[in-house]
């Protein structure tokens, strides 16, 4: 690439992507690229209806670059590949040399899975809008296309709901946070809080859309809801109890009661949430719901008799099915952790398998779409190296090589059932991660293993080859100032 080159687009769909290329090349290398609609230029974006919606063809010759795609997303992913072929400085913001050399090549590329996700938990620790945009920026570099935003927790509610203002006045702030390991039972004595206004949510969703990333919100129920009860105790099993937003990590016994008042509250909340997120899926959690309070509740026990339910597990299934029916009636699809499988779901509900792959296998056999997110491979809050030398983490042992070793094509599934495995996701839980730099350190490079598995065709695992490619790519990450962990270099 030389100074004064022009960039042409065959379709307005490609204009935003072409503008990104022009902006980056001019900012870093002062190339003076210009965007036009001429039929031929040094860099050309062509419409090719025969390639898939996220696929592209990239051809680099000595005096010409051609990109073929059928969608803006395909062109965007071609651009990410082109950026990786350029000198590392082009991935950053600092000024660099004026000419850019790119190896001649032809690349025909498309993703293996349509769902390539990362989750960030903002319930335990609030991250600013700028932090979220930064998280999305790095995701986009690696062709990850789904951001799962974990917005509510026992320890904090993070989304403005206009009908229920106490959620942001009370539920969004806890009086203190745990210090050190859970076993130490120490606290910092400092209030922690924050929430996103609906306008901020719209801003983040629009920003993600510009990066061809879909945002899936998660509103936890019926467990992980102690923060809700701090503001609206009447939704719990003991309306007279004084609840506080949780300060201790772990699973709270304080859960929502399956009252009609609770369902009305959740339907109102989800109605406002669905209006903010144009994607098809709404995540409702559904995991880790203790049943002690339901067993001790006269209301719950009477409801179980009335409905002919055998136990409290069936009562949770009743709860999830009620929400499933509501979400479906609004033209959306329900997504939840694998516990939602127990008791039957509507055909369009999707399951996220976190307790290993067993739940995902069962869901696929029941003809539900599945996102594989097994904790032993993709819980990025686990240690990635020796706990004695790594920053504080929740525990576990998940080196980069383990994340890379995951294979979503499971032998337990038939060819037809395998089609229901639509993608994979890694999760960044934040009990011990209080800022974006720390989050990046825990996310990368393990999320790059996920990115390669999710995008590349199934092939025999070659960790030494992956590690070699990753090491060669590190200057790009340095230029982008990604705070990635380097412990993998010693493993």
* Predicted pLDDT at 250: 95
CA dist., res. 439 & res. 435, Å (int): 6
Looking at residue 249, what is its pLDDT? 97
- The helix/strand/coil state of 167 is helix
Which two tokens mark 241?
Answer: 């109890």
The pTM of this model reads: 0.98
CATH ID of 6-109, from 1.10.10.1100, 3.30.379.10, 3.40.50.150, 3.40.50.10420? 3.30.379.10
The tokens describing 84, both together, are: 């990786």
Question: How confident is the model over 463-485, as pLDDT tens digits?
Answer: 999 999 999 999 999 999 999 99
Helix (H) or strand (E) holding 214: strand 214-221
Q: Which fold has domain 115-490?
A: TIM Barrel (3.20.20)
φ, ψ dihedrals at 371, nearest 5° = -110, 120
The pLDDT score that the predictor gives to residue 5 is: 87
Residue 413 has what DSSP assignment? S
3-state per-residue secondary structure call for 199-227:
HHHHHHHHHHHHCCCEEEEEEEECCCCHH
Instruction: Find out whether 282 and 273 touch, Cβ atoms under 8 Å.
Output: yes
Instruction: Judge if 6-109 and 115-490 fold alike in CATH terms.
Output: no
DSSP string, 278-300: -SSEEEEE------HHHHT-HHH
Domain boundaries, the chain: 6-109, 115-490
What number of other Cβ atoms are within 10 A of residue 16's Cβ? 15
pLDDT of 268: 98
Please report, to the nearest 10 degrees, the dihedral formed by the alpha carbons of residues 266, 268, 273, 276 taken in order.
170
pLDDT at 295: 98
Tens-digit pLDDT profile for residues 66-106: 999 999 999 999 999 999 999 999 999 998 866 788 999 99
pLDDT of residue 177: 98
**Residue 410 to residue 422: CA distance in whole angstroms:** 13
Cβ proximity of 225 and 344 under 8 Å: no
Sites in the chain below the pLDDT cut of 50: none
Residue 416: CB partners within 8 Å, gap ≥ 6? none
């Amino acid at each position: 690439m030389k100074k004064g080159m022009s960039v042409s687009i065959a379709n307005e769909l490609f204009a935003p992507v072409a503008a990104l290329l022009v902006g980056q090349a001019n900012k870093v290398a002062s190339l003076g690229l210009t965007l036009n609609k001429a039929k031929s230029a040094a860099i050309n974006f062509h419409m090719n209806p025969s390639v898939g919606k996220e696929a592209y063809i990239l051809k680099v010759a000595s005096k010409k670059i051609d990109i073929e795609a059928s969608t803006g997303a395909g062109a965007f992913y071609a651009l990410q590949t082109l950026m990786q072929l350029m000198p590392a400085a082009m991935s950053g913001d600092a000024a660099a040399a004026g000419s850019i050399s790119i190896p001649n090549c032809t690349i025909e590329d498309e993703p293996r899975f349509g769902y390539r996700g990362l989750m960030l938990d903002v319930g335990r620790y609030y991250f600013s809008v700028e932090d979220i945009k930064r998280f999305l920026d790095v995701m986009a570099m690696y062709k990850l296309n789904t951001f799962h935003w974990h917005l509510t927790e026992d320890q904090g509610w993070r989304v403005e709901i206009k009908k229920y203002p106490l959620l942001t006045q009370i539920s969004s702030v806890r009086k203190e946070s745990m210090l050190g390991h859970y076993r130490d039972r120490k606290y910092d004595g400092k209030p922690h809080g924050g929430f996103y206004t609906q306008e901020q949510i719209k801003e983040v969703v629009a920003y993600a859309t510009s990066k061809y990333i879909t945002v899936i919100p998660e509103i936890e129920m019926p467990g992980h809801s102690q923060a809700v009860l701090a503001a609206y105790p009447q939704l719990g099993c003991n309306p007279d109890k004084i609840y506080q937003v949780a300060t201790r990590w772990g699973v709270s016994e304080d859960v929502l009661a399956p009252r009609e008042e609770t369902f009305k509250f959740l339907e109102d909340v989800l109605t406002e949430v669905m209006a903010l997120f144009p994607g098809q899926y709404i995540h409702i959690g559904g995991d880790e719901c203790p049943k002690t309070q339901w067993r001790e509740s006269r209301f719950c026990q009477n409801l179980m008799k009335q409905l002919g339910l055998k136990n409290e597990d069936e009562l949770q299934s009743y709860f999830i099915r009620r929400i499933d029916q509501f979400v479906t009636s609004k033209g959306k699809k329900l997504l939840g952790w694998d516990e939602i499988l127990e008791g039957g779901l509507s055909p369009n509900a999707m399951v996220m398998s976190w307790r290993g792959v067993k739940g995902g296998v069962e869901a696929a056999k029941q003809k539900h779409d599945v996102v594989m997110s097994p904790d032993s491979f993709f819980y990025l809050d686990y240690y990635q190296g020796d706990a004695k030398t790594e920053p504080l983490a929740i525990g576990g042992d998940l080196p980069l090589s383990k994340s890379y070793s995951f294979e979503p094509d499971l032998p337990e599934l038939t060819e037809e059932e395998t089609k229901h495995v639509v993608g994979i996701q890694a999760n960044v839980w934040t009990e011990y991660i209080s800022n974006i730099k720390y989050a990046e350190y825990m996310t990368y490079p393990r999320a790059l293993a996920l990115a390669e598995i999710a995008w590349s065709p199934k092939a025999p695992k070659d960790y030494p080859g992956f590690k070699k490619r990753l090491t060669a790519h590190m200057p790009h990450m340095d230029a982008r100032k990604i705070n990635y962990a380097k412990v993998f270099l010693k493993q």
